[in-house]
Structure 1
Amino acid sequence: MKANIKFVTEKFNVFNRQIFANELPMLPIRIGHARTSLGGLACNKKTNLFGKTQYYNFRMIISDSIDLPQEELEDIIIHEMIHYFIAYKQIQDTSAHGKLFMKMMNDINKRFGRHISVSRRQTASELDTTYTLPPKPRYICITELADGRTGITIAPKTRIFQLWKTMPQLFKTKSCRWFYTTSPYFGRYPTCLKPKIYIVEKEELQKHLQGAVPLKNDGHTISAES
């Protein structure tokens, strides 16, 4: 079956009651069309005066791009609800799929007979369909932060010079590297008109940077590194 608002909302309420003790407030649910990411949890965040990050304004996105068995679609919804639970409770995990996420996922799989996983393996036919989609070029900045985290920024072509200059000035960075890529993985992140960094898992990022073209900036033109 393919995801729709009615199904996702109903299952959210069922799993909230069965698995999460009704501790999760209903949040806006949107049906997306991405093939590279079948589920996602978006939110805003801010840092208070004590340096603690707070998460708010949660939204869930479930893709309708692939016709899935109902149980698999339910597992995707629960996967995103685990992310929601951790963020809503303002709990700091070791990474996006860190120790707490993995513990919750494994506990739920054992207690409720689910098959939730960190990522979903696509079938050959799905991959064939994915690769027939026209590639979209993107200009991305990979930022190594002073605290060891890695972030990405997707820049529109018209803002590259401005963001190239301001990113290192506004954030505590070790390095900022720019790339040109057509990988569909980066379509899950919004294009930034202003300096903004989205924290990612470094190991996951490296897989999708294969084939990306490093860029250089001489102050007048952006070009591929020789």
Structure 2
Amino acid sequence: MEITILYIKRKFEEFNQQIFAGKLPMLPIKLSNAKSFLGACTYKKRLGKNGKIEKYNFSLRINTRIDLPEEEVEDTIIHEMIHYYIGYNQLEDTSPHGQIFQQIMNTINEKYGRHLTISHKCNKTQNEQAVDKKQHYHVVAVVSFKDGRIGFKVLPRVLQSILKYYNSVKTANDVVSVNLYMSNNIFFNRFPNSSALNVHFIEDSEIKKHLNDAEKMTCDGKSIKRNQ
């Protein structure tokens, strides 16, 4: 479903009245494009007049990168509203999802038929959905090993980093070949750019599929040329 700030505000007001007795002031709401969480209640800390740390400047962030069912979006908003309730009232919980949080969560689930959970990070399927869908050019090194395995590495687009990786891996005893490609396939968006001496292992047919439209580059260990 499409998530908008207007939608989140409307749901916040609805759940504030229904669940929190209308005691939570409206707070800034932001849309997030993060890959790791569905929602977040953020705040700052300062030393209060009583000498204790107090929380302030709350804001609510809801992920729009992942296409979630409406019920799960609602549960995400309520989940973060519990954090907001605890922080706004300066309650001291045993942990971020401690005894107070769990007590409120369990009461809401039982009373309102919700399905709130402690963990609100993206699961494996959601992480896959969260991958950037825009096309970006990547330098991809494909490494063939003597035991028949195939690995690949997404490298920084920095000449020195590419050459360092190429020369180091190519001289390894268990490596047959290293080939470099320039690809804008979104499959490679999910992998961090790094020149660390490791690879992601993959089936030969799979890597060929993702590099079907890639441009193979020539490297002599000192320079790199893009094939015309």
Q: TM-score range by the shorter chain?
A: 0.5 to 0.7
Change (3 A) 1:124 1:97: closer
Separation (CA, whole Å) in 1 of partners of 2:12 and 2:74: 9
- 1:133 is matched with which residue? 190
Change (3 A) 1:136 1:85: farther
Separation (CA, whole Å) in 1 of partners of 2:23 and 2:76: 19
Contact 2:38 2:122 in 1 (8 A): no
What does 1:1-226 align with in structure 2 at a 5 Å threshold?
1-48=1-48, 50-120=50-120, 122=122, 124-130=124-130, 132-135=189-192
- 1:186 is matched with which residue? none
What SS does the corresponding residue of 1:105 show, helix, strand or coil? helix
Which of the pair has more CA radius of gyration? 2
How much identity, in percent, do the aligned residues show? 44
Paired amino acid for 2:16: N
- Report Cα offsets for 1:28-84 as digits up to 9, x if no partner: 000011121110011111123643111111110001011111000000000000000
Paired amino acid for 2:23: E
- Offset at residue 130 of structure 1 (A): 4.7
Q: For structure 2, list consecutive stretches of 5 or more residues without a partner in the other structure.
A: 132-188, 195-228
Separation (CA, whole Å) in 1 of partners of 2:49 and 2:14: 38
- Offset at residue 125 of structure 1 (A): 4.2
- 2:221 is matched with which residue? none
Q: TM-score, normalised by structure 1?
A: 0.56
Separation (CA, whole Å) in 2 of partners of 1:93 and 1:136: 39
Contact 1:40 1:61 in 2 (8 A): yes
Change (3 A) 1:4 1:136: farther
Change (3 A) 1:69 1:54: same
Separation (CA, whole Å) in 2 of partners of 1:136 and 1:102: 39
Change (3 A) 1:103 1:84: same
Separation (CA, whole Å) in 1 of partners of 2:100 and 2:54: 18
What SS does the corresponding residue of 1:67 show, helix, strand or coil? coil
Separation (CA, whole Å) in 1 of partners of 2:53 and 2:124: 40
Paired amino acid for 1:91: L
- Offset at residue 102 of structure 1 (A): 0.4
- Offset at residue 128 of structure 1 (A): 3.3
Paired amino acid for 2:29: I
Change (3 A) 1:127 1:30: closer
How many residues in Structure 1 have an aligned counterpart in Structure 2? 138
What SS does the corresponding residue of 1:55 show, helix, strand or coil? strand
Separation (CA, whole Å) in 1 of partners of 2:66 and 2:117: 17
Separation (CA, whole Å) in 2 of partners of 1:71 and 1:127: 19
RMSD, aligned CA: 2.3
